[in-house]
Structures are given as structure tokens and as C-alpha cells.
């Protein structure tokens, strides 16, 4: 029997289906969460209409190949079907088998900070010597209990809620041969790494190291507000502007396809309420740490 094949145009048509509409066709329960929808019973599955995409955090943690994507991947994930079967369904060529992935039981994960090391030696060496960040910047974040070294000698960047409780921890390995990046389980992205300022200007980055690099390049910005998204989603940015009187936002996302696309989306969304500036790294540099390293040589 000849295998069904699709043209690029047909695949694009399938993947441009409205993902919320597809989710409803699949009889998924949808719970509105600000700019996303949660699908209960699938271990942290969220749908983001603005991106026409989904992500399942439990699948990501278990290192499954399919933990996110567009409508095609969503159908594959829910029905455990093939790419061809998913595209066929989305184009209306044929239906799907009734088999579905068994929902997983969701358990509330209590957040706690990673165990601390007795010293800061490894993170000082990594951030100052390898990443070229000025010592005063590293000292400042350590002093404010926003940065420490864990027992595996990784950098832990702590995000607090607005009552002063730690709620998020981004982790960055200090071994250059093993560039580990992650976050502590139970972290709440609303409270990702941020630092309040003295005025009405806010700087937005993808990562804490980008923030520290920018402050090394532009020390006077220490008096402004700063937020590291610790991803590309604007969850922490949305939360931050609820608590501070912000008038101007500077976007410092990466100079790659994903960073540029998200910058345009954030400009469109926040430009309605704020004076918003696109201040990406100089041409030729992916991020502000590369720009810093290029300046210092």
C-alpha cells in the first residue's frame, strides 16, 4: 500500500490550524490562565494561542521527544499517532483512532532552594573570568541574596515574590565543557530573577547572565528596574508591571530568530501601554554577554 505523502503547502496548512480550535475538537478541557490555557490531566500541558503552540512540562522533564510544538505535534501528543496521521486529521482527510494517551496525575511540587555550597569560589571564577562580568556586579547580587553557589558548584539565580519569599531558582552550570541550564522544580515563572529600581524604566532580558552583562557594560542602569524572563515567555514581565509604576521598557532579547520574533511580539503587546524600545545586542553578537566578551577581548 502506498504511503500518504504531503506537500510543504499541505503541511503548512495543517500547522496553521488554530490550536485552540484543534484542542476543542480533541475534547480537551481548557482552563484560562492569563495568556495561556492549561489542559488538566496531562502533567502540565499549556496552550499559548499567541504562539499557536503548546508545551507539556512533565514530558519535557521526562525527556520525551514530543513535549511541545504546534497543532500537528499536539494531535500527535494527545493521540500518540504518527506525523502522517496527524496531518491527515488536520486536513480533514481521515479521522483518528480512539486511543488516547492516559492522563497523568498531577502532583503539586513544593518549591525549595537548592542546597548551598560553603563558598562562592566557582561562581566567582565562572562569572568574572569566563563570562567577563565585573566583580562589583557579582558582589551586588550575592549581597542581595539573589545569587549563590549550590553544592554542585553551579550558579543559582533566585527570584522572589513581592512579599520577599524565594519562589524561583534558575541554575547555570559553571563547567564550560558541560553547559547545564535549568530551573528548580516547583519554580514559579511569575517571579523569575528580577531587581527593583528607583525610577520608571525597566530592562528585560532572556537570562540573568544577560542582565549582569548589561550592567557591566552600562553601570548607570543599576538604578533602573530589571527582569530576566528565564525563557522567552513574558510571564514574569506581566507580573512585574503589576507591582511597579513603569513607563518605559527596554527589550534586550537575543539576536537570534526566536529572540527577534519575541521582541516584535512584545513591542506590539506592551507598546499599547508603555514607551517601548528595542535595544538588542549590537550586530554580530547573539546576546549581551557575547557583546561584553567582544569588548573586553
Q: What is the pLDDT of residues 204-244, one digit of tens each?
A: 999 999 999 999 999 999 999 999 998 888 889 999 999 99
> Cell numbers 507598546 label which residue?
271
Q: What is the DSSP letter of 19?
A: H
**201: three-class secondary structure by DSSP:** strand
Q: 225 to each of 105, 108, 161, 220, 277, how far by Cα in Å?
A: 39, 32, 15, 12, 14
Looking at the fold, whether 89 and 141 belong to one and the same domain comes out as no
Looking at the fold, whether 124 and 162 belong to one and the same domain comes out as yes
Looking at the fold, whether 92 and 237 belong to one and the same domain comes out as no
Tell me whether residue 101 is in a domain: no
Looking at the fold, whether 92 and 176 belong to one and the same domain comes out as no
DSSP-assigned letters across all residues of 120-148: -HHHHIIIIIIS---HHHHHHHHHTTSEE
CATH number where 72 lies:
3.90.580.10
8 A C-beta contact, residue 174 and residue 123: yes
User: Which residues neighbour 228 within 8 Å (Cβ) at sequence distance 6 or greater?
Assistant: 157, 170, 192, 193, 194, 205, 206, 207, 208, 210, 211, 236
Question: Domain limits at 61?
Answer: 6-96
Q: For the chain, how many structural domains are there in total?
A: 2
Tell me whether residue 160 is in a domain: yes
Q: Exposure of 214 by Cβ count < 10 A (0-12 exposed, 13-18 middle, 19+ buried)?
A: buried
Distance CA 233, CA 162 (A): 20
Pairing mode, if any, of strands 194-195 and 45-48? unpaired
Q: What is the pLDDT of residues 247-294, one digit of tens each?
A: 999 999 999 888 898 899 899 999 999 999 999 999 999 999 999 999
User: Which residues neighbour 134 within 8 Å (Cβ) at sequence distance 6 or greater?
Assistant: 128, 215, 216, 219
What pLDDT was estimated at residue 79? 85
CATH number where 171 lies:
3.40.1360.10
Tell me whether residue 61 is in a domain: yes
pTM for this model (two decimals): 0.67
Looking at the fold, whether 275 and 191 belong to one and the same domain comes out as yes
Looking at the fold, whether 240 and 175 belong to one and the same domain comes out as yes
> Which segments in the chain show pLDDT lower than 50?
1-3, 63, 98-99
Tell me whether residue 211 is in a domain: yes
Looking at the fold, whether 254 and 136 belong to one and the same domain comes out as yes
Looking at the fold, whether 181 and 281 belong to one and the same domain comes out as yes
What pLDDT was estimated at residue 99? 42
- Which secondary-structure segment (H or E) carries 55? strand 53-56
Distance CA 198, CA 209 (A): 22
Looking at the fold, whether 279 and 141 belong to one and the same domain comes out as yes
Tell me whether residue 275 is in a domain: yes
Tell me whether residue 27 is in a domain: yes
Amino acid at each position: 500500500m502506498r504511503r500518504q505523502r504531503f506537500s510543504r503547502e499541505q503541511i503548512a496548512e495543517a500547522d496553521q490550524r488554530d490550536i485552540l480550535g484543534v484542542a476543542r475538537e480533541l475534547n480537551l478541557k481548557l482552563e484560562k490562565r492569563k495568556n495561556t490555557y492549561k489542559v488538566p490531566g496531562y502533567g502540565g500541558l499549556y496552550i499559548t494561542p499567541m504562539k499557536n503552540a503548546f508545551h507539556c512540562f512533565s514530558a519535557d522533564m521526562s525527556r520525551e521527544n514530543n513535549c511541545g510544538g504546534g497543532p500537528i505535534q499536539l494531535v500527535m501528543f494527545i493521540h500518540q499517532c504518527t506525523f502522517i496521521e496527524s496531518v491527515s486529521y488536520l486536513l480533514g482527510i481521515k479521522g483518528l483512532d480512539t486511543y488516547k494517551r492516559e492522563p497523568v496525575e498531577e502532583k503539586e511540587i513544593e518549591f525549595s532552594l537548592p542546597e548551598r555550597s560553603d563558598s562562592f569560589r566557582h561562581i566567582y571564577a565562572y562569572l568574572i573570568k569566563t563570562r567577563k562580568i565585573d566583580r562589583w556586579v557579582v558582589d551586588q547580587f550575592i549581597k542581595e541574596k539573589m545569587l549563590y553557589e549550590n553544592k554542585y558548584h553551579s550558579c543559582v539565580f533566585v527570584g522572589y515574590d513581592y512579599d520577599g519569599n524565594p519562589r524561583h531558582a534558575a541554575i547555570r552550570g559553571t563547567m564550560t565543557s558541560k553547559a547545564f541550564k535549568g530551573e528548580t522544580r516547583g519554580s514559579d515563572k511569575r517571579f523569575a530573577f528580577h531587581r527593583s529600581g528607583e525610577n520608571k524604566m525597566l530592562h528585560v532580558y532572556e537570562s540573568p547572565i544577560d542582565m549582569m552583562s548589561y550592567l557591566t557594560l552600562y553601570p548607570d542602569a543599576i538604578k533602573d528596574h530589571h527582569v530576566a524572563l528565564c525563557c522567552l515567555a513574558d510571564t514574569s514581565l506581566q507580573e512585574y508591571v503589576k507591582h511597579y509604576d513603569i513607563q518605559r521598557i527596554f527589550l534586550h532579547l537575543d539576536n537570534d530568530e526566536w529572540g527577534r520574533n519575541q521582541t516584535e511580539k512584545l513591542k506590539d503587546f506592551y507598546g499599547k501601554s508603555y514607551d517601548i524600545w528595542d535595544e538588542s545586542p549590537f550586530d554580530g553578537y547573539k546576546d549581551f554577554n557575547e557583546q561584553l566578551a567582544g569588548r573586553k577581548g
